[in-house]
Amino acid sequence: MQPAPSVIIFSTLSGAGFGLLFFLGLGMPVVTGGIAFGFYVIAYLLAVGGLMASVFHLGNKKNAWKSYSQWRTSWLSREAWFAVSALLCMGLYAFLQVFFATTVATLGFLGAALSLCTVFATSMIYAQLKTIPRWNQPATPGFFVAASLAGGALLSNNPNLAMVLLLVLAAVVAFHWWKGDQRFAEAGSTIETATQLKGRVSLWEKPHTGENYLTHEMVYQVARKHAVKLRVIALLLMTVVPIFLVLVFGPHHLPVALAVLSHLAGLFAQRWLFFAEAEHVVGLYYGAHTGKQTA
């Protein structure tokens, strides 16, 4: 799949933002006044900024509001509902903490749950697609939620919890890669099932000499040697460097800030791979992925 920068930025930043809201909602830490203001500015910039980025990849932005209508069937619609509810709920909770030094725990728990639901709904947009076997596995929501929690724990200054969650995230991401490499063969779609022709089938001529929306969007292929390098870089930046920084320099502002930046950079690499490595079955009609069919 084409790794669109807007979607990569959206899912990474908003994940971290909702993760931070999750911990603030749980009262980890309980903050009031100016400190609370600082925390919520960061959380809302990440969460809302990410959501804004996702609007940039829409072809017809004026109809974006209609995406609230299909919550009964569409994960994208559910994501929109969860995001707005979480932001409103946590907004009220934050308002009371910042200006009245009042913490309404119930409101916070509700906001925390809605924040996590938002991230889960985002992940299900990808995980539901049978056409992209690499995404169509339980580890997809697994790493989206783990990444949100780990980033949130780092941002909310829960260093010990953050280190544990970063390790969990690394494990889930590694499992997602390992499982993902087998998913295309497991799903069983081949150029033979796509064409239903007998014998060994290969593409002889494409419909058009040039590219089109389908090949540009869905028949993106990444060189394998680059993928392996990027996986190592992603793991290092996402988990190893942040843990090292927090362990060596302690949970102070500068090392934690650097740890967050490193973590997000690693997540960008991981999210880029999530798209770039994903094989859409329509590629079979364009002669792609035949090496990944049932071995």
Residues that bind other proteins (CB under 8 A): 1, 57-64, 66-67, 69-70, 72-77, 80, 125, 128-132, 187-189, 191, 193-208, 210-214, 216-218, 280-282, 285-286
Closest CB 21 distance from other proteins, rounded Å = 23
Q: Is 106 or 202 the residue whose CB approaches other proteins more closely?
A: 202
* CA 266/CA 255 separation, integer angstroms: 16
- 8 A C-beta contact, residue 155 and residue 275: no
What's the sign of the alpha-carbon dihedral 12, 54, 111, 25?
positive
Closest CB 184 distance from other proteins, rounded Å = 12
| Residues whose CB falls within 8 Å of the CB of residue 214, separated by 6 or more in sequence, listed in order | 282, 286
* CA 264/CA 9 separation, integer angstroms: 10
- 8 A C-beta contact, residue 122 and residue 78: no
Structure tokens at 206: 């494409």
Q: Is 31 or 218 the residue whose CB approaches other proteins more closely?
A: 218
Closest CB 50 distance from other proteins, rounded Å = 16
Phi-psi region of 199 (alpha: psi -120 to 50; beta: other; left: phi over 0): left
Q: Is 168 or 194 the residue whose CB approaches other proteins more closely?
A: 194
| Chain-centroid distance, C-alpha 236 | 18
Closest CB 200 distance from other proteins, rounded Å = 4
Helix residue spans in 26-104 (DSSP H): 33-55, 75-100
Closest CB 92 distance from other proteins, rounded Å = 26
Q: Is 135 or 177 the residue whose CB approaches other proteins more closely?
A: 135
* CA 184/CA 118 separation, integer angstroms: 28
Closest CB 209 distance from other proteins, rounded Å = 8
Closest CB 244 distance from other proteins, rounded Å = 38
Q: Is 132 or 243 the residue whose CB approaches other proteins more closely?
A: 132
* End-to-end CA separation in angstroms for the chain: 22
Q: Is 34 or 59 the residue whose CB approaches other proteins more closely?
A: 59
Q: Is 80 or 149 the residue whose CB approaches other proteins more closely?
A: 80
Structure tokens at 125: 């947009």
Phi, psi of 79 (to 5 degrees): -60, -45
Q: Is 60 or 106 the residue whose CB approaches other proteins more closely?
A: 60
* CA 264/CA 154 separation, integer angstroms: 11
| Residues whose CB falls within 8 Å of the CB of residue 277, separated by 6 or more in sequence, listed in order | 134, 180, 222, 227
Closest CB 112 distance from other proteins, rounded Å = 25
